[in-house]
Amino acid sequence: MQRAMTVVGAGLICVGVFLPMLSIPLMRDDSFLRLSPGGGIILLVLAGLSIVIGIWGRFRLLYITGLLSLGLLIYAYFEVDRRKSAAQSNLQERVISTPLKSLSHNLISSVGLRYGWPMMMVGAALTVAVPLVGSRLTRREKV
């Protein structure tokens, strides 16, 4: 059961890296790999390591890969939010015309997260949950 959940969690991360993560109006939806090639490769490596660790049966090591994945995703979220706020304040300073100001503000406000993001978050959470739940199940079996 733990091995299957590890593979499912890591698989969700792997697939989520390639799915649209951020929706930018009038442009395109970007995946994590396109927005941050280094971060995308790191997530793929961590997911691969999680699969190997799960098959190997050393579930406690999943804390490391899962928490690193979650940390990278949380950092990326705050970085996207920071850039969005910076773009909004930059537009408020530079755009003089009121109709253009409201249009540009609406465009930046409509930048949003897509379905790749929650898929990667669920996968990383599953990767962290496997050793947590598994250790509790083994304790119950011993009693």
Place of tokens 């994945």: 69
| Average pLDDT of the segment spanning 70-84 | 88
| Average pLDDT of the segment spanning 37-41 | 91
Residue-wise pLDDT tens digits, 93-133: 666 666 666 666 666 666 677 788 889 999 999 999 988 88
Residue 140 has pLDDT above 80, yes or no: no
pLDDT of residue 42: 94
In a domain, 46, yes or no: yes
Q: Write down the pTM of the prediction.
A: 0.79
- Say how many C-beta atoms besides its own lie within 10 A of residue 49's C-beta: 18
In a domain, 65, yes or no: yes
In a domain, 45, yes or no: yes
**What's the CA gap between 12 and 54, in Å, rounded?**
14
pLDDT of residue 59: 87
Residue 6 has pLDDT above 80, yes or no: yes
In a domain, 102, yes or no: no
In a domain, 122, yes or no: yes
Range of the domain at 20: 2-79+112-142
Residue 12 has pLDDT above 80, yes or no: yes
Residue 14 has pLDDT above 90, yes or no: yes
DSSP code per residue over 25-67: TTS-EEEHHHH-HHHHHHHHHHHHHHHHHHHHT-GGGHHHHHH
More confidently predicted of 139 and 50: 50
In a domain, 125, yes or no: yes
In a domain, 105, yes or no: no
In a domain, 92, yes or no: no
Cβ-contact 25, 107 below 8 angstroms: yes
Q: In whole numbers, what is the pLDDT of the chain averaged over residues? A: 82
DSSP β-bridge partners for residue 30: 22
3-state secondary structure of 88: helix
Please give the tally of structural domains in the chain: 1
More confidently predicted of 100 and 48: 48
